Amino acid sequence: NSAHNSNKKQKILFVSANIYWRRGYNFFNNKFENIDTINYPIIYELKDDFDILGIEPQYLNLSNRNNRTLKEKLKQSFTQWKAFDSYLSFSIILVSLKKYFKFLNKLRKHSQEIKNELLIYNSANLYSLFEAEVRSSIKNIFYCLLFIEIAKKIIKKEKPLCCFLTYETGPSERAMIHTCQKKGIPTIGLQHGASAYDTNPDYIRNYSYNPEQALLPDFMSVYGEATKEVFCEGGYPAERIKVMGNQEYDFYRVLSENKERIRAELMEKFSIPKDKKIVLFISTRPYEEITKADIHYHLDKMYGYFGGFQDYFLIIKLHHGERGVIDHKTILENKGMKGRYLI
């Protein structure tokens, strides 16, 4: 890849899945387009002093429904991206299998202890109820070993100065954290969305973290003090959390300097009548919680407040997880409302 520097600069890795490849401001060419919205602002600041390499943990699989997005990401020209499994080799598979069979042999020696002591509650043996889950977890051990071996190869080949991770609890990311910490390479987690007390347990847990077991990055960059408080109350070690702000909003400086030109371009691009005022509706709730009743409620309130949008142009910005969950367009058309949808 021509964007990948071949000089002797120190290398920094960015591990980020294609779910974060979405519309944002690209500092490299001063355009709004599909980019890695979490990492690109940081990459832009580091690009002149370091050799940057992105690692895509989702597999380059032709049957993957996100294959188009993944291909777009891997082919873009502003920095180089490689798929995590592009480092996979036959020798890595053999090593992982050897370790997995060694693990199974140890497991067999203690099989009765596992069945009789692993899942005991109030003197009742619950193993039979969870046997399927236990067997599934044992099978997944192979993939854990495989990911660790791939991570070892990445670190050995790329020799990074440090490693940024967008989704610090993913299996590939945990393998990278484990391997980097073994090699003394700093890891930095990046907050990638809203965090609240009811957020996914993968991020905020109700028990105290054991850093050795949880495989936490050495540092976690968060947007603000409120997020830090949520993490700390969930048991995340306070000394590892750094309040750095939200790098996705760095482009506001550029917008403020060119706001009139950018506004004119957007008005023309989205066919917004010049005599209309703009109402922007941004959905931020986790898509698992969204219902059509919620959307109807919000749109009904806005419809009444803004007088049926006779003098306004409505723009809806969907949360990235809502596609296919809520049909905003149908809801609006049933109300005789028209707008532009940014997804």
CA-to-CA distance for 142 and 147, rounded, in angstroms? 9
Q: In this predicted structure, what is the pLDDT of residue 285?
A: 58
| Residues 259-285 pLDDT 10s | 788 788 878 877 888 888 888 877 665
Q: What average pLDDT does the chain have?
A: 78
Q: The pTM is what?
A: 0.73
Beta strand 312-317 with 339-342 is parallel
What is the mean pLDDT of the segment spanning 314-322?
68
- Percent of the chain's residues with pLDDT above 70: 77
| Residues 170-182 pLDDT 10s | 889 999 999 999 9
In eight-state DSSP terms, residue 10 is P
Q: In this predicted structure, what is the pLDDT of residue 289?
A: 55
Check pLDDT > 50 for residue 92. Answer: yes
Q: In this predicted structure, what is the pLDDT of residue 209?
A: 53
- Say how far residue 31 (Cα) sits from the centre of its chain: 22
Backbone angles phi, psi at 51, to 5 degrees: -90, 120
Q: Where are the beta strands (DSSP E) in the chain?
A: 11-15, 21-26, 31-36, 51-56, 80-83, 120-121, 124-125, 160-165, 187-190, 219-222, 241-243, 277-282, 312-317, 339-342
